[in-house]
Structure 1
Amino acid sequence: MQQVKKGDQIKVHYHGRLTDGTTFDSSAGRQPLEFEVGSGMVIKGFDEGVTGMAVGDKKTISIPADEAYGPRQEEMVIEFPIKNFPPDITPEVGMTLQMHGDNGQELPVVITAINEESITLDANHPLAGKELVFDLELVDIKGKSPLIIAP
């Protein structure tokens, strides 16, 4: 029976939750997730978790924060002067905004606190610092396409 290996294109149904049981994502009611194993399209622990599975296999994996979205980084939490906040936006705790970095790249941030002087913005991934648990079901494996080189 064919088992998942690096380079395979696979389809997998998943249910992602935190260690307290809170669901953060699921493919239920949707098409299964399709990706190439080892290509960096998913977090490292997910790639490693599907490796060796066969079609029809089901399993539960735990992914430590370091193999998921990494640890929370306090330097990713910034105080932004409220006087520089766009006047057409009313800030609220929990609101997600897009900031532009020095290189022009968009960076999602979440407002975590507001006071008279400043707004606290957190640019950490919402799942940073968290261990993730996934229930997996492998639906399909397509081996890597052979490379054809013209003579």
Structure 2
Amino acid sequence: MTIKPNTVVALTYVLHTTGNEGNSVDAGNKVFVEEAKEDNPLVFLYGVGMMLPKFEEYLSGLKVGDEYGFELSAADGYGEKDPGARADLSVEMFKEGGLPQIGDKLPLQDDTGNRFQAVVTGISDAAVSVDLNHPMAGQSLHFTGKIIAVREATQDELNHGHAHGIDGHAGH
């Protein structure tokens, strides 16, 4: 079976990034981000918008055992860095848990309920300054991996809009 809309895909991957500040794409400039191995693969419902669109486009038509490798530009990944995507949060917000450190990632939620992470860039007596860009904004994403399993999604998975595990029976 090949990867197409409404299939559940299980795959391994290794993700490296490179910045777009003129870095070449050779291995010396790649930074390891994360990986999913065969004993704990990435499992997702293909074609419902869970993954980056270009990521899915590169996987279309692959089947079990196929290996892949591709690069997504920053624009096709998490976007270019927006220098205006910054905010100052009142230090009052941190009274209970204490002030974060520069470089810490803070879990935030916007007024419509979307969750995201902000990175602390500065701390003053009045405010904690954060960068609201996705941590991988402005970077090219380099994926390599192997397709482990492809199956038709169950009606339950299609109704819920997500995969229920590699075999379709995992908990929600």
Q: Does structure 1 conserve the Cα–Cα contact (< 8 Å) formed by 2:11 and 2:38?
A: no
Structure 1 residue 86 corresponds to structure 2 residue 94: yes
TM-score by length of 2: 0.72
Which position in structure 1 is the counterpart of 2:10? Answer: 11
Task: Point out the structure with max Rg over C-alpha.
Answer: 1
The aligned amino acid for 2:5 is: K
Which position in structure 2 is the counterpart of 1:61? Answer: 70
Aligned counterpart in structure 2 of residue 142 of structure 1, from 123, 131, 151: 151
Distance 1:100 1:21 in 2: 31
RMSD between aligned alpha carbons? 2.4
Distance 2:112 2:154 in 1: 36
Segments of structure 2 that go 5 or more residues without pairing to the other structure are 19-28, 156-172
Q: Relative to structure 1, is the Cα distance of residues 104 and 54 closer, same or farther in structure 2, using a 3 angstrom cutoff?
A: closer
Q: How much has 1:144 moved relative to structure 2?
A: 4.5
State, as a whole percentage, how many aligned pairs show the same letter.
24
Which position in structure 1 is the counterpart of 2:163? Answer: none
Other structure's SS at 1:74 match: coil
Which position in structure 1 is the counterpart of 2:50? Answer: 41
Distance 1:144 1:101 in 2: 32
Q: How many residues align?
A: 145
TM-score by length of 1: 0.81
